Structure 1
């Protein structure tokens, strides 16, 4: 990355004062009335396939992130730290200074055409959401989905964005040739709390409806119910309501776990907590006194409660999503077939999410 002068334009017209960002390949920066308060920094990327370090515990080797930063503005987002690499803050800048890889599909096609490409699983939505609102403007995902499918590369998508519904026909078509994992991120169904802590996301009700639409299209849909928030969404009533809503929507499995407070997100979340739930601040400070993770005692307790309510509602654990998308000679894949809820159609063999 290097410092490079740029100019911010309104709707691509009259230039405003120059601004500096450490962005290689910067094409332009702009604001548009449809996205009040957000600045888009459009870059021409040299590569979009990101190799996951071999030392990582992640069960996949490759990721794609069409955007950096995310207008979902989830207070707890672990990816906030990545904005500090651009000399931007991990709070408001992460929410409103968005980097867009405008040539993502074109570059991806070239990368997938290399003889060295082994058709390993590619995960989308592992850092920032590929179906955040900006995707409605830039339409990067159709090209990415098509490139992956045509190359015989299995992939998965994790999102909170209901804009995904636009691409259901394309995903259904792609699933005929490659294994696809679909996942919706939804950890709370209280609309007021969701609006406070995930202010830029579609409502819980809208995401539940998206789960149903994916299942009606014959696609699997697992749910990442993370983070579960101590003293806010970890009670029996909250877990029972959440898992009940997920199974009613048709989710094929769920992975759930507690809040992680990593550097970059920790500071932003604790400021939010102090404003909305000041009495919980000392409890959180004690619970996370050892670092990014809650105490082992809490994690073990929550795991037990999750297991009880997942069993009560007949939801499977979503373990093994990425590991079950294994390439076979010629680029085809050998997927795992999830068991759909009764009354919902089953499509081609697919993998579950987590």
Structure 2
């Protein structure tokens, strides 16, 4: 585990959860020193990158279908409410990232997979300028995943670094957003964020994820979402159908049982044990989105990473 190489229980004499023994509580956040920061992305995540760095674990956006929830269980926290409210911070992320990049072979990295890297905690800790600087200095290609307008604070840094920014907009129905993404900005706010990033010269794409089976996958819903993404100025859409890995599955289905009990059985038929949707269903949905993208003149699918040139060290003026 990238957040701490030790198991949750070191020995029989101390069976407190790792979070209680290794973290320091600072206000609303738990600070935990990371031993490694470049971590493997679970295959079930559905994104293009195989490796990621995340300054924060847990996310105040509280998205029901977030596939990163299982990480909290490995810290002795629950994958539901704790993930939404007990945010774990890696204050040494920049220091460790520089060390690991020195021996990294150059494969593209995702930033912000375990929790939005521009959520409210970033206002307090300001870790991302250092993360972006370290990545830019190494020449390693990277994509930042976020829903937050705080990313605009670093738009200049991201543009100069040649970073990609993927803004998550799965649907534009505000009624759905309020119940499955209660802490996240509205779809309209994220569409405006896309426009602002494009205007600032940032390579911005939209991660149309997660498409929710039987809730946000109707043809008119997909059409409205793609049309508004195109109007915002995005040139690329990367669709991902909802994943339900361990940790996410129970939390999501608990809500579904309460809100849409008639859909539970259909979800259980649709998803396999690994939390992946049936290939036929996923292919149909992504195919529909790809066709819509062609109508609106956008590309559809994952990007091809291109390694950049490391930034030259700035000479001191004497």
TM-score range, shorter chain: 0.7 to 0.9
Please point out which of 152, 157, 163 is paired with 1:170. Answer: 157
Report what 1:335 is aligned to: none
Report what 1:324 is aligned to: 305
Change (3 A) 1:239 1:24: same
Report what 2:230 is aligned to: 247
Q: Distance in 2 between the 1:273 and 1:297 partners?
A: 22
Secondary structure at the aligned position of 1:86 is classed as coil
Cα deviation, 1:317-339, whole Å, max 9, x if unaligned, reads: 133x2x43235xx647xxxxxxx
Structure having the higher Rg:
1
8 Å CA contact 2:56, 2:116 repeated in 1:
yes
Change (3 A) 1:64 1:309: same
Aligned-CA RMSD value: 2.7
Structure 2-normalised TM-score? 0.85
Aligned length: 300
Q: Does 1:30 align with 2:26?
A: yes
Report what 2:81 is aligned to: 92
8 Å CA contact 2:239, 2:301 repeated in 1:
no
Change (3 A) 1:259 1:204: same
8 Å CA contact 2:109, 2:141 repeated in 1:
yes
Please point out which of 231, 235, 252 is paired with 2:218. Answer: 235
Please point out which of 80, 89, 93 is paired with 2:69. Answer: 80
Q: Does 1:196 align with 2:183?
A: no
Please point out which of 61, 65, 74 is paired with 2:54. Answer: 65
State the Cα distance separating 1:242 from its structure 2 match. Answer: 0.1
State the Cα distance separating 1:210 from its structure 2 match. Answer: 0.7
Report what 2:29 is aligned to: 40
Cα deviation, 1:51-102, whole Å, max 9, x if unaligned, reads: 5699x99754542111111111110111111111112111111111211001
Change (3 A) 1:249 1:46: same
Q: Does 1:146 align with 2:133?
A: yes
Q: Distance in 1 between the 2:21 and 2:104 partners?
A: 25
Report what 2:247 is aligned to: 264
Report what 1:218 is aligned to: 201
Q: Distance in 2 between the 1:53 and 1:205 partners?
A: 30
Change (3 A) 1:262 1:120: closer
Q: Distance in 2 between the 1:294 and 1:44 partners?
A: 36
Structure 1 unaligned blocks of 5 or more? 5-18, 32-38, 333-354
8 Å CA contact 1:25, 1:45 repeated in 2:
no
Q: Distance in 1 between the 2:127 and 2:264 partners?
A: 40
Structure 2 unaligned blocks of 5 or more? 1-5, 10-14, 312-318
Which protein is richer in strand relative to its size? Answer: 1
